[in-house]
Amino acid sequence: MFDISEVEGYDHDRRAPQFSPFLPNASAGGIGPGSAYFSFHREARVLSSVERKNGVRTGYAGSECYLSLVDRDFAPFHVSLAQLGGSAWVTNRDLPMVMPVGRTSDFTLLDSVPIGSIRCLRGPTKPIAAVTGGAINWRLISHLSINFLALDDLADGGAVVALRELLNLYAERGDGAYRGQVDSLQGVSTKQVVRRVPHDGPIIFGRGVEISVKLDEAAFAGASPFMLGMVLEHFFARHVALNTYSETVLHSVSHGEIYRWPARIGDKPLI
């Protein structure tokens, strides 16, 4: 179960009101009296005795989803229902991992068509377990309030540690190559700069923030750190106010400055 988009309840005589997602409506202020909503949460799936003895099929255990029907106060919705229906986004869980690829033809058509073979250029990606709780939830919440004061590197190197933890939130758990690239970050610092503001119209100059990121290229064997720098450059711009800009500079421990991106106007609106 990837996501649930809508839920409908049915009683013995007529169809009950349609249930809407609770959290999107709550954040948008769309909750009204007498409204019906649904909420669902995940829990890590408990392995069966056979799975604990022999192991799971592909190393992916999955999770269990639980649906709750609530009212506008997030209290249980009291109504007599015979059954539930709805629409959901679902996946094949770990079945694509056991699909054989690389043969003469990876797929078979039901109809007769003039096609010799259909092959996968690349096999399916492995599934990623859902976040079901623990300390990572608090790290995700703290991610909602980001400012560049925390990226100003101090003597204890706390800023680069914070940036590593932030990037690891997006890392595929267990991917050693990605974590190695994140751990290659050696330092990050910011300073105020004055540049030409990158926008259409008359030429004006304004103050912005320059963000310098230093990394060790040894962790990018066979690859370039430029892509990581480009991702960070876009990421930093998303957290700069609309009337200012960021300028990202990528440095290597062994080769010095790798690339300096042009000033990018901020994407975060002013409140």
What one-letter code names the amino acid at 269? P
To the nearest 10 degrees (0 to 180), the angle between helices 158-168 and 176-183 is 160
CB atoms within 10 A of CB 73: 8
Instruction: Extract the runs of DSSP E, i.e. beta strands, from the chain.
Output: 3-10, 15-21, 37-44, 63-70, 83-89, 185-196, 205-215, 245-252, 256-260, 264-265
Q: Out of 66-75, 190-199, 227-236, which region has the weakest mean confidence (pLDDT)?
A: 190-199
Which pLDDT tens digit goes with each residue over 102-127?
Answer: 888 888 888 888 988 888 888 888 78
Query: Could you tell me which of 258, 191, 192, 266 has the C-alpha nearest to residue 228?
Result: 258
Prediction pTM value: 0.60
- Backbone φ, ψ for residue 137 (5° rounding): -65, -40
pLDDT of amino acid 261: 93
What one-letter code names the amino acid at 268? K
38 neighbors 7 (Cβ within 8 angstroms): yes
What is residue 161's DSSP assignment? H
Q: What is the residue-wise DSSP string for 4-61?
A: EEEEEEE-SSSEEEEEEEHHHHHHHT---TT--EEEEEEEEPPPPHHHHHH--SSS--
What is residue 76's DSSP assignment? B
The label of the residue with tokens 């192991």 reads 55
Q: Out of 93-97, 156-160, 162-166, which region has the weakest mean confidence (pLDDT)?
A: 156-160
pLDDT of amino acid 147: 60
Residue 78 reports pLDDT greater than 50 = yes
Which pLDDT tens digit goes with each residue over 197-248?
Answer: 777 778 888 888 899 999 998 888 778 899 999 999 988 888 777 678 889 9
- Report residue 118 as tokens: 């259909």
- What is the CB-side half-sphere exposure of residue 253 using CA atoms within 13 A? 10
Degrees, nearest 5: CA angle 167-169-174: 100
Percent of the chain with pLDDT over 90: 12
Local structure of 245: helix, strand or coil:
strand
- What is the CB-side half-sphere exposure of residue 181 using CA atoms within 13 A? 20
